Copies of this chain bind each other. A is one copy, B any other.
Amino acid sequence: MKTADPELMRAINRFHVMDAIRRFGPIARVEISDRTQLSPTTVSAITAALLDDALIVPRAIDSVRDAKDAAKDGVGRGRPRVMLELNPDAAFVVGVKLAPDQITVATTNFRADVLKTLTLPIRIDRQPVSVIADLVEDGVRRCIADADLTMDKINGVCVGLPGVVERAAGVCRQSPIFRERDVPFAAELKSRLGIDASVDSDVNLVTLAEHWFGMGRGLDDFIVVSVEHNLGLGVIHNGELFRGANGISPDLGDLLFRPPATGSNGGSGVGRLSEVASEAAILEEVAALLNGEAESLRRSVRGMARVVELAEAGDQRVLGVLATAGEALGFAIANLIALFAPPKVILAGAALSAGDLFLSPLRSTVSSLTPANLTDVSEIVVHQWGADMWARGAAAMTLRDLYGAPWNTTGPATT
């Protein structure tokens, strides 16, 4: 823990004010004071500094007034409140999401509004790092240009990718994207683009996105299970992203389970969850069933759609694969509920496009396996987002740092 000095004190309070403004849209100082428990004086001083730095702006017309006051007591009386909001142009950031078969880029402003997105449907897994970096660099530059911005206006870029990523070090320890291990991708991008770059686990991006814009809004505790090419686990604990020891993100796919005795592989032995429940595993299994179109299934971006098609046509084997995957993941989620007892479990990712064929077995497994004393604790919701939302999460990850530790040291209140 850091030692406390006046500077930290103000950094904390400024962050609270920024956070209130971010979360509650255009908001008056009085309301910030209410929500943050800071005195009006302090809020005034901090917002003055923020206005000075142009991080926030007053909203010109006070048209929200009537709606506000109607909900309170009478029509507007007294001095009207000046609504404050984040200055959209205070900064711009870029988020990138790497998946094995596509790169998604999003440019956002300071309010995390997406200005432009760019999708490159290119198979990049197992390419050399330099090739991937080339593609990312190109995508970022194009997406910035698309938004009518220039590189010197961009404050940072964050890349999310599956696997084990050590954000603090800027290193990707291991990923299906890279052949190599311990790839210092943040430094690589930083030197290429000339701006701050960071890497993070893709599941952390979507977890932050859920916390900021999605189904985790307002919640201080929830977990996100992502079912993409890989499996990932994101945890929000006490309103903060839980990063595990050493900053190493947990990788859900490494979880073990014993396949059921009736399974294809004999019943003894031990498998990893990623071998059964990930999108990759499902496609692989189904491909093995269909000799004919195996290759196209594996290659296609829309492989999962084809699987669903087959399943809905009544192919029992495909249905079985989906059910097995759902049960295995349900097993794991029941375990996570036993461990974390989160009020909410959010399922995210491409494999969810299988819908109830996948989710029904999952839900029933979870509900039958959840410990008795936790049955009512956790609500499981499904949230299927496009890859651009993940990229937006990546942008948010950078913004989060900007809000918390402003690059521009805000001077004393007495300007």
A260 touches B258 (CB 8 A): yes
Min distance, Cβ A248 to any Cβ of chain B, angstroms: 4
B261 touches A338 (CB 8 A): no
B1 touches A12 (CB 8 A): yes
A13's closest neighbor in chain B, by CB? B4
A1 touches B339 (CB 8 A): no
B239 touches A1 (CB 8 A): yes
Residues of B with C-beta under 8 A to A255: 335, 338-339
Known A3-B16, A373-B164; contact A335-B256, beta-carbon cutoff 8 A? yes
C-alpha gap A195/B254 in the complex (Å): 47
A19's closest neighbor in chain B, by CB? B1
Q: Let me know if A296 is at the binding interface, CB within 8 A.
A: no
C-alpha gap A37/B1 in the complex (Å): 11
B3 touches A250 (CB 8 A): no
Min distance, Cβ A378 to any Cβ of chain B, angstroms: 9
Min distance, Cβ A374 to any Cβ of chain B, angstroms: 8
C-alpha gap A10/B6 in the complex (Å): 10
A254 touches B338 (CB 8 A): yes
Q: Let me know if A377 is at the binding interface, CB within 8 A.
A: yes
For chain A, residues 14 to 59, give those with C-beta under 8 angstroms from any C-beta of chain B: 16, 36-38
Residues of B with C-beta under 8 A to A250: 338-341
C-alpha gap A377/B257 in the complex (Å): 21
**Digit string of A323-339 for contact with B (CB within 8 Å is 1, else 0)?**
00000000100110011
For chain A, residues 245 to 285, give those with C-beta under 8 angstroms from any C-beta of chain B: 245-246, 248, 250-252, 254-262, 266-268, 270, 272
C-alpha gap A167/B335 in the complex (Å): 22
Residues of B with C-beta under 8 A to A73: none
Q: Let me know if A242 is at the binding interface, CB within 8 A.
A: yes
Q: Let me know if A68 is at the binding interface, CB within 8 A.
A: no
Counting chain B CB atoms within 10 Å of each CB, the highest count among A4, A16, A260 belongs to: A4
Q: Let me know if A237 is at the binding interface, CB within 8 A.
A: yes
Residues of B with C-beta under 8 A to A340: 244-245, 250
Counting chain B CB atoms within 10 Å of each CB, the highest count among A342, A373, A377 belongs to: A373
Residues of B with C-beta under 8 A to A9: 4-6, 8-9
Min distance, Cβ A115 to any Cβ of chain B, angstroms: 30
Min distance, Cβ A410 to any Cβ of chain B, angstroms: 15
A36's closest neighbor in chain B, by CB? B3
Q: Let me know if A233 is at the binding interface, CB within 8 A.
A: yes
Q: Let me know if A380 is at the binding interface, CB within 8 A.
A: no
For chain A, residues 174 to 220, give those with C-beta under 8 angstroms from any C-beta of chain B: 174, 181, 220
A246 touches B343 (CB 8 A): yes
Counting chain B CB atoms within 10 Å of each CB, the highest count among A16, A237, A334, A335 belongs to: A335
Residues of B with C-beta under 8 A to A121: none
Residues of B with C-beta under 8 A to A173: 373
Q: Let me know if A369 is at the binding interface, CB within 8 A.
A: yes
Counting chain B CB atoms within 10 Å of each CB, the highest count among A3, A250, A272, A342 belongs to: A3
A373 touches B334 (CB 8 A): no
A-B contact pairs, 27 of them (CB 8 A): A1-B12, A3-B12, A3-B16, A3-B36, A3-B37, A4-B8, A4-B9, A4-B10, A4-B12, A4-B13, A5-B9, A8-B9, A164-B373, A173-B373, A245-B340, A246-B343, A250-B338, A250-B341, A251-B371, A254-B371, A254-B374, A256-B334, A260-B268, A261-B267, A262-B268, A335-B335, A339-B339
Shortest 10 CB-CB distances between A and B: which pairs? Answer: A221-B245, A258-B258, A254-B338, A4-B12, A254-B371, A261-B267, A4-B9, A248-B341, A250-B339, A261-B268
5 A-B pairs besides A245-B342, A254-B374 with CB distance below 8 A are A3-B37, A6-B9, A181-B373, A251-B371, A267-B267
